[in-house]
Structures are given as structure tokens and as C-alpha cells.
Structure 1
Amino acid sequence: MYTNIAEMEKELALCRQCALCREGNRGPTSYNGIADSPLIIVGEGPGGVEDEYGVPLVGPSGQLLDKALWSVGITRDSIYTTNIVKCRPKGNRTPTVEEGRFCAGHWLDEEIALVRPKVIIALGSVALKYLYGDNGRITKDRGRWFDTKYGLPAIATYHPAYLLRLTGQDLVKAKWEVYYDLKAAAEKCNELMPDYVLKAEAPANLLEIYSPRKKQRLVNPN
């Protein structure tokens, strides 16, 4: 058990506990945002851009997520975002349930204990299965509140990477579903912590914010 996020993040950077850290990535990624947020977003795993910057959801998927969050009154610099697995799977493949269970059991559980959020958003199937259970299905369970082992309410929605693969009416339908899921999470946060401001005056430029970390990771690869 760590006493603060900085202490945990330092240990996370040294983690070599599973095979994912040997799949050609730059080592574990951390979180972005702030560590005293009532809302935590849990994605699946880092892609290529995230591997470069060392933080979750800053590439094309993250930029689409930012637009969706902005539409419901949330900016990423006002909340906490992390992933189920911290190292990039080779070829940007989806992490397995087993990989998710192992990594999240070591790190996400610690993050939840330190951040102590009020609401969790699960992005995609891997996050849903860890937080809800192996029987979770994103097409069936998205948009429905469920209780987690942390004693916190959670709601699942599609991962933005899934939206990037859709076209036509399928894309329109999925975008509206994500909108209402995120809106429900924002409303829940406002209900539980009405004085907390979820939205900054302007969207955060996460690539700019974390560019120093990118330079450091490029100089000191795993």
C-alpha cells in the first residue's frame, strides 16, 4: 500500500512483473489528470502514442474521448484517467482478460485506493470485465450502473477506439450512446460532489502537457 500517487508512480515505472513489459514498448505508462478527482476513467491499455507519452488516451482515441467529454461538461485535466494494463501490447492488440486481471490487481487497485473517486467510467470490454466480472459484455451492459468491489458505482461505455472503426448510422448510434453514458456519469458526480468543477474553461491539450514526459521516454527507453 502506497501513501500517495507520486510514490506509487515511481514504483510503477520500475515494474517488470509480466510479459507485456517485454513486448517492445517503452515501459509502463501512468495516469493523467489529477489525483483528487471524484471521477476516474479506466481504459484498456496504451497504444503507440500513449507509449511515447507515458500516459493513457492521448492519441486519436483520446482526442475523440476529449470531444465527447467536453460535450457533457468534463475536461480531462479535471479528472483522473488510467488504464487496466500499463504497458502497450505488441501490435496494439487488445489486452487479454488475464493480462488485465494481473496488471490491474497490482496497480489499478492501488490507484482506486489512493484517488478514492466517487464514480468510475469503464471504457471497453477489458475494463468492464475487470470491474464487473468475466460475464460482462459491453454491448449488453454499457449504459447500466453496477457496483464494483471497491464499493463504488461504475458505468461502462464503448472505448473510443471502437468508434473510430465505425461508419454511417452505426457510428451515429454509438456516439449518441456514449454521450448519454458519459452524461450519466457527470450527473452522478455532480450529485455526489456538487461543489466539484468537472470542466475547465477550455479543453486540455494533453499532448502539450505531457510533451516533457515524451522527451524523457524517448531518451530513456525501456
Structure 2
Amino acid sequence: MNVISVRDLFRVYRLGTVDVHALNGLSIDIEKGEFVGIMGPSGSGKSTLLYQISLLDRPSSGFISVQGTDVGRLSDRQRTKFRLKHFGYVFQDYALVPELTTEENVSLLPMALGKSDEECHEMSVDILDVVGLKERLSHLPRELSGGEQQRVAIARAMVNQPDIIFADEPCANLDSVNSKRILDLFKQLNQENGQTIVMISHEDEDIEYFDRVIQIFDGKNVEN
């Protein structure tokens, strides 16, 4: 069953008098429960694709279906609700709020969905236990290592039990030891919880973790 279907996707940016085709008629399918890697050279359109299918940007033209929903028909408000309900995001820069503790950072999403303080606490503690940071609840981001901060970001992405996790080069700022720890954690979460994970990577050694690799070149998929 396809959880994401994309057909003839174009994303054109206007730079001065020049049109830049970041995506150029791309079509892909991603099945429920897959751990998919998106790979390709710099400037090939990897991040642009991720931003379209994760509803952080709108394409110039083309069709995107997620969970059976034609997301191109959703209003901005509906897209926001759809993201909160179905998606989790992990970025290479962690994107943690520096003034908030580990628990508070993870609690942001359940709070946005209207969960009570008690529910937020329980959900945050449970997922931080899964990623091995239950003893770091009251720590601020600056008191954590890079690998720990990224695990907090993963816990935040997972706390609402989303259907799909989008990860944009989550190991780019980590050393090899912490990169392996993060990828092992993704694989564990994918296998145990069945969440679909779509991850951008430029490292060949990451391929062993993926069920499948989608290669992007000049805004098109060259292998599916």
C-alpha cells in the first residue's frame, strides 16, 4: 500500500530573470512501513522533494497523495493540521528551542494537539525512555551533546506516534559514532513501530539501513 504517491512533480524557483527547475517532472511511490533513503548529488532536488511531500512547501505543479489524501487540495490551515496529525520531522540542525528543557521540547507537539499537562508529561517521558534520554528530562539543549540533541529531536518527532517521519540529513553534524547510533535508532523505531521513514542522505554507508533508495538527479528520480 502506497502511503505517498507523487506524479509529474515540478518546483520552479524564480531567481532574478532565470527559472530554476528544482524538480522536473518527478514521480515516486513510497509504501507504508518503508525506510526509504533519498540520495543524489548536491543541488539534485532532494530537500526540495522532501519539502513538497512533507507539506512544508507547495509544488509549482503536479500531484501528491499522502495517506490517500490529495494534499494539493488542502488549505493552509488543513495542511497544518494534517502535518501535526500524520508527520514527524528531524532536521540536521536539531531545531530545539534553547530556553526549553528536554521534556519541554518534546512536549511541544502534544501540547499543540491539545493534550493535558499530565498527558504531555507521560508521552514525553515514555518516548525519551525509548531514545535513552529519560535521565536528561530537565537538561537544556546546551547541556547536551550533539548526539543527545538529535535524539531529543527524534523523540519530539516520534512523540505523537506519526505515520511518517521525514529526516533531512539528520547525521550531517554528527561524528561517525553518533551517526551510527542515530541510524540504529531510526531502524529500531521503523521495525518495532512500523512508521514510514523518508530520509535524505549523502553518505554511501547509510544505504545498508534503507529498505530502498530513491536516486535524484537534476530534479528527476533516476532509480525507484
TM-score bucket of the superposed structures, by smaller chain: 0.3 to 0.5
Q: TM-score, normalised by structure 1?
A: 0.36
Higher relative contact order (CA 8 A, sep 6+): 2
More strand by share: 2
